[in-house]
Amino acid sequence: MSNTFGKAFTMTTFGESHGKALGCIVDGVPAGLEIDEDFIQSELNRRKPGKSKLETARKEDDKVEILSGTFEGLSTGTPIMMIIFNGNQKSRDYDNVKDLFRPGHADFTYFHKYGLRDYRGGGRSSARETAARVAAGAIAKLMLKTLEVEIVSGLCEVDGIKADTYDFEHAKTSLLYALDSKVEEAQKEAILAAKNKHDSVGGVVVTIATGTPKGLGEPLYYKLDAILAEAMMGINAAKAVEIGDGIASTSLKGSQNNDGITPNGFTSNHSGGMLGGISNGDDIVVKTHFKPTPSIFQEQDTVNTSNEAMKFELKGRHDPCVAIRGSVVTEAMMALVLADMTLLNMGKKMQHLKDIYKK
């Protein structure tokens, strides 16, 4: 089971939804990076559950502790280990799914792959694991900030209700990280209406990186766009990823889709900031599509571990729209990819090597 992401800047996560703790080990961080613990905690606070009626009622402080890899506020160049202790598990809510599979969840596939599973909240397959990704992503963001790279995100669609404008400053203050204040209320109502009917809705998140340099990406088999797509698809409930115009570009002519090049940059950004899998210096734009949360409180058909037909009703506390908190996770994953690609890009030119060895 692979639990590590990245090549030069790596993240390894551990822990389960209802275990004692979860966390991550971040390796490859250059020595001398200022580790702002308040910033790391603020990122976790953005993702943590129970902040409003639009999210799961599970309350977790998500207090992060750094166990290694720092000294006097700076990274030492050695692995940075962070841990987050769970505090509000209600494992008894899952007693009725001990011997059966929840539709739309990884219960069925984990059981058939490993022959057993942690049924408490999905165990390792739970979206709670993304807290560790956000902690690791915060370290990556701190590194990228020193290089003047910024990453923002927001919800551009909920239950088919689409944003007409993208206001990332507004998204920072919105309970659902909505990008368009004019449709925000309708999006909220859609989420709450589904929740009141014991159902859920899907959503789409836009994630943008600005200030990225030209040349990030490793052709042909570690392309920037391909790894970004992998990173986003690895988030729980993500079902599709678009780079730049994505699907819309398939209905355009080449004359419409090509981004003109001028001495001052590009005339448009249909490509999402990447050509041939390498960054072109323009904004990197990624859309991540999240399915409706499979944890719904309606009677459903399923089978048990003996393959016998059953009906059941779920218990527990779950997000009616997982895309909301997923927005924060997309930022973390983009930061991890860009940090990794930045380190991999070191030494790609002889001048890079000469600069390193200058006396």
Q: Strands, DSSP E only, in the chain?
A: 4-5, 10-15, 21-27, 64-68, 70-71, 74-75, 80-85, 150-158, 161-162, 203-210, 238-243, 261-262, 265-266, 274-275, 278-279, 284-290, 300-303, 309-312
Residue 125 marked as a ligand binder:
yes
Q: To 5 degrees, how large is the angle CA 139–CA 142–CA 144?
A: 110
Residue type, 74: L
Per DSSP, helices labelled H in 237-356 are 254-257, 323-344, 350-356
DSSP type of residue 283: P
Strand 203-210 and strand 284-290: pairing? antiparallel
Beta bridge partners of 241: 288
Question: How far are the Cα atoms of 96, 103, 180, 234 from residue 313, in angstroms, in the given order?
Answer: 9, 11, 36, 28
124 belongs to an annotated ligand binding site: yes
53 annotated ligand-binding residue: yes
d(CA 156, CA 162): 6
State the Cα torsion 142-143-146-151 to the nearest 10°.
-60
Is 92 known to sit in a ligand binding site? no
Q: Which residues contact 15 (CB under 8 A, 6 or more apart)?
A: 21, 22, 23, 84, 86, 124, 129, 132
* Cα–Cα distance for residue pair 332/135, rounded to 1 Å: 8
Contact 321, 249 (CB under 8 A): no
342 is in an annotated binding site: no
Q: Which class for 164: exposed (0-12), middle (13-18), buried (19 or more C-beta within 10 A)?
A: exposed
- Strand 70-71 and strand 64-68: the pairing is unpaired
Measured CA to CA in angstroms, residue 166 lies from 43, 226, 333 at distances of: 21, 25, 21
| Residue 102 annotated as part of some ligand binding site | no
The whole-angstrom separation of Cα 205 and Cα 203 is 7
**Binding residue ranges for NADP(+):** 47, 53
Residues that constitute the known binding site for FMN: 124-126, 236-237, 276, 291-295, 317
Annotated binding-site ranges = 47, 53, 124-126, 236-237, 276, 291-295, 317
